[in-house]
Amino acid sequence: MRYFPVFLDTQSLHCLIVGAGEVAARKLELILKSEAKVTVVAPYICNTVAAYADHPQVTLLNRRFEKEDLVTADIAFVATDDEALNADIRKLGEEYNVLVNVVDNTPLCQFITPSIIDRSPITIAMSSGGVAPVLLRYLRQKLESVIPANISLLGRFSEKFRDKVKHTLNGVTARRYFWEDVFDGDIAELVEKGQADKAEAKFEQALSAAAQDNQITGQVYLVGAGPGDPDLLTFRALRLMQKADVVIYDRLVSAPILELVRRDAEKIYVGKQKSHHSMPQDQINELMVSEAKKGNRVVRLKGGDPFIFGRGGEEIQVLLEHGVEFQVVPGITAASGAASYAGIPLTHRDHAQSVTFTTGHLKNGTVDLDWSALASQHRTLVFYMGLTGLPIICKKLIEHGMRPDTPIGLVQQATLPEQRVLTGTLADISDNPATATMQPPTLIIVGSVVSLHQQLDWFTTTALN
């Protein structure tokens, strides 16, 4: 390790910046995120730097650099296009015991500035030693995507209770385990969502239980896994999946998404297929309650969105009855995913001004829907779980006024590499031999928007006609 990472206390730090062009302006803006005093010296001052003339932390000196400028400085950034001057200031820095950074000239730098993710009081700094800045930006983007925007709230929360935990729990190991549980659990989620009062109440309860070696009730997260492509998961869904103690998942949750679940989490399959339930719904409800009562963080992972044909409402009612706390994390519903990846816009000014989501398989096993309402013009229909009832759906829509040549599309394994799309009309789709090869999960889209599939299909699919 050539460059040793150090965080400097900036409350009494004096920073000198030599140069006042746009490059220097970027350094000035970065330093002003701290509490340091900054002196900028340059014969020419650009508009960006000049805008900070009245800033209480900034002193602007509109003249050439003098070596005495280093006398009161602790660190210095040199951002001029005069290479000889840059080298001279670097040597003067050694004479005056001032650490010097010559911007974009690593060999002349006594220190380098890292790539920073600022979530004060949480600050993450990364460096490549100046050899791979593009790779560093790439890694920073990755971290930015997984670190919650409100992690700063969690940092302040930890600061508030740090001494209390220290005095309540004996031993470094006990305190470490306690804080890990807090950061991995629902208390942290409440803090990051700005629900400080609830978070503090649960924190006090958890700390008391830890002091008495008692166990408290866990929490259930109803998480939408989206239509299948793991890239379509929300950041929050991914974080919770990686925090979970127990994951209860459906058949529609794809294998690539399951790979993202925390490695040591218990994974319980409760998938449903037509006429065959791996686990009846009432047993799923009991399982969620019992696992939460054990103190586990339970993720109920559902394909699509929990509140769109996902029985999320039914499951929440049971959790409420048993006093189990819960949160809901929406996901991209199958209709949106399938339509987008098949190049079928659900609404379009020339085709459909509204869209209706409905199920092709009712609770009693029938396909007895309000066909008159569904068959209205200028509307897109999306049928979930309708593959078996496809002939009935087509027949009833025609009987209630839809034109037999109305376009219809079947989208199987939407958003995944195995996606297949079959298009036709209400009159001929059921008789197409390719229809018999379609397998669940398949979504049915009805309406003139389906006619846009050939033109707008951007995703590599197996297209059937």
Is residue 295 very low, low, confident or very high in pLDDT (cuts 50, 70, 90)? confident
Is residue 141 very low, low, confident or very high in pLDDT (cuts 50, 70, 90)? confident
The verdict on residue 199 lying in a domain is no
Residues of the domain holding 22: 14-113
Same domain, 340 and 455: yes
For the chain, the first-to-last Cα distance in angstroms comes to 61
The verdict on residue 181 lying in a domain is no
The verdict on residue 6 lying in a domain is no
Same domain, 341 and 328: no
Q: What is the CA radius of gyration of the chain?
A: 30
Same domain, 248 and 261: yes
The answer to whether the beta carbons of residues 447 and 380 sit under 8 Å apart is yes
pLDDT of residue 150: 84
Question: Does 213 participate in catalysis according to the annotation?
Answer: no
Same domain, 339 and 450: yes
pLDDT of residue 219: 86
Q: Per-residue pLDDT tens for 314-328?
A: 999 999 999 998 999
Residue 249 to residues 30, 252, 278, Cα–Cα distance (Å): 45, 8, 11
Q: Per-residue pLDDT tens for 250-293?
A: 999 999 999 999 888 999 999 866 545 568 899 999 999 999 98
- List 193, 198, 267, 272, catalytic entry: 272
The verdict on residue 203 lying in a domain is no
Report the percent of the chain where pLDDT is more than 70.
95
Of residues 195 and 133, the one with the higher pLDDT is 195
Structural domain total, the chain:
3
Is residue 366 very low, low, confident or very high in pLDDT (cuts 50, 70, 90)? low
- What phi and psi values does residue 51 have, to the nearest 5 degrees? -65, -15
Same domain, 356 and 327: no
Same domain, 308 and 347: no
Give the separation between CA 331 and CA 241, rounded to whole angstroms. 13
Question: Does 198 participate in catalysis according to the annotation?
Answer: no
The verdict on residue 207 lying in a domain is no
Per the prediction, the chain carries an average pLDDT of 90
- List 243, 250, 302, 396, catalytic entry: 250
Query: 262-276, 424-438, 447-461: which has the highest mean pLDDT?
Result: 424-438
Give the separation between CA 429 and CA 198, rounded to whole angstroms. 54
Q: Per-residue pLDDT tens for 91-105?
A: 999 999 999 999 989
CATH code for the domain in which residue 425 is found: 3.30.950.10
Same domain, 328 and 226: yes
Residue 363 has pLDDT above 80, yes or no: no
CATH code for the domain in which residue 101 is found: 3.40.50.720
Same domain, 367 and 407: yes
CATH code for the domain in which residue 319 is found: 3.40.1010.10
Is residue 121 very low, low, confident or very high in pLDDT (cuts 50, 70, 90)? confident
Helices (H), 212-299: 235-241, 255-258, 281-293
